[in-house]
Amino acid sequence: MILEIKDLHIHYDKIEAVKGISLNLPEGGIITLIGANGAGKSSILKSISGLVRPSSGEIRYQGERIDTAKPHKIVEMGIAHVPEGRCLFQLMTVHDNLRVGAYSVKDKELIEERFSQVYTHFPILKEKEHQLAAQLSGGQQQMVAMGRAMMARPKLILMDEPSLGLAPIMIDEIVKIVTMLRDSGMSIVLVEQNANLALKLADHAYVLETGSVALEGKADELLNDPNVAKAYLGA
């Protein structure tokens, strides 16, 4: 397993946002966390990337505990986070936003190689590399956020609501990007309110309710589960 979480608890002051969650992600796989707002999905991602310190429990990446590691160390280990809302530097260019993703890399040739790879996957970003992030569409900004994560050459990518606020045609692009990342060997934890989309992309799914796992199983089986369909798929 590339990622193992055991009995994870997360508190914000006296409020327990995550209540003893355990999950596993095999190398090269995709798991998705689905559920309503406030279910604890984003908190789990933030705990993996070191932005939130768990109250208790274990997070292991490639067998090594990381639940007390600093965020920059976690990035250096091979974990990248694509946050909800994209979180770009709006008054910086596309090129400079992408460069932030490789902040720890000093080798100029290696940096240029990574730029080349990102621009191969996202040709539109090459065309717009000198434009400000604020001038891009929502879909293009999401591409920058994903490209920034790829600049770190991660083995594990955490994606928080990548389709949020995007037009249907751009959601199709996101599907292609996630599929491409998986095919390149990356492991992915996908948080997505669009449960139908998430279950079609993932291998395994965890349905969260108020900080706990209410249901888990193979994504394709949950996609066809009438109870899941009624609660999360609008059926």
Domain span at residue 86? Answer: 27-52+70-232
Question: 181-230, pLDDT tens digit by residue?
Answer: 888 889 999 998 888 889 999 999 999 999 999 999 999 999 888 877 77
Q: What is the pLDDT, as a whole number, of residue 17?
A: 94
Regarding pTM above 0.85, the answer is: yes
Whether 225 contacts 32, CB under 8 Å: no
CA distances from 43 to 54, 70, 147, 158, 211 (A): 9, 16, 23, 12, 9
> Residue 7's beta-bridge partner residues?
none
- Does a structural domain hold residue 4? no
Phi, psi of 2 (to 5 degrees): -80, -30
- Does a structural domain hold residue 202? yes
CATH classification at residue 218? 3.40.50.300
- Does a structural domain hold residue 10? no
Dist CA 120 CA 132 (whole Å): 20
Whether 59 contacts 50, CB under 8 Å: no
- Does a structural domain hold residue 82? yes
- Does a structural domain hold residue 149? yes
Q: What is the pLDDT, as a whole number, of residue 234?
A: 58
Q: What is the pLDDT, as a whole number, of residue 16?
A: 94
- Does a structural domain hold residue 20? no
Q: What is the pLDDT, as a whole number, of residue 69?
A: 95
Dist CA 116 CA 151 (whole Å): 10
Whether 208 contacts 34, CB under 8 Å: yes
Q: What is the pLDDT, as a whole number, of residue 85?
A: 63
**Spans of the chain below 70 pLDDT:** 85-86, 233-235
Q: In total, how many domains does the chain have?
A: 1
Q: What is the pLDDT, as a whole number, of residue 142?
A: 86
- Does a structural domain hold residue 8? no
- Does a structural domain hold residue 129? yes
